[in-house]
Amino acid sequence: GENVEQHPSTLSVQEGDSAVIKCTYSDSASNYFPWYKQELGKRPQLIIDIRSNVGEKKDQRIAVTLNKTAKHFSLHITETQPEDSAVYFCAASIVRGSNYKLTFGKGTLLTVNP
């Protein structure tokens, strides 16, 4: 089955700096890659996703890049703010008809210091 590795496990940055979280996946058939943000005790929230027919996607301060050849994808947060502090999870999935199962990375605890 799919295996998703996520690095780093913890990341501390100063407010205003950029943060980058990287993930690799094992199954070359995976074609959907979402990123979730989870604050302590709360539900994971989808913040951005990318499909395998796209190499990069941006939404304001958040961007995701995908390298299908290398089987890795990354989350980039620019101009970080304290409210960006949370655990971020990457995930990978093969979406084919009704078949769909997300495999999550182990998460990255991002701390943005004021």
Partner 1 sequence: GAVVSQHPSRVICKSGTSVKIECRSLDFQATTMFWYRQFPKKSLMLMATSNEGSKATYEQGVEKDKFLINHASLTLSTLTVTSAHPEDSSFYICSARAYGQGGSEQYFGPGTRLTVT
Which residues are at the interface with partner 1 (CB under 8 A)?
Answer: 32, 34, 36, 41-46, 49, 51, 89, 93, 95, 98, 100-107, 109
Rounded distance between C-alpha atoms, residue 107 and residue 35, angstroms = 10
Residue 97 backbone zone (phi > 0: left; psi -120 to 50: alpha; other: beta): left
Rounded distance between C-alpha atoms, residue 17 and residue 86, angstroms = 16
Between 14 and 98, CB nearer to partner 1: 98
Between 61 and 101, CB nearer to partner 1: 101
Between 27 and 49, CB nearer to partner 1: 49
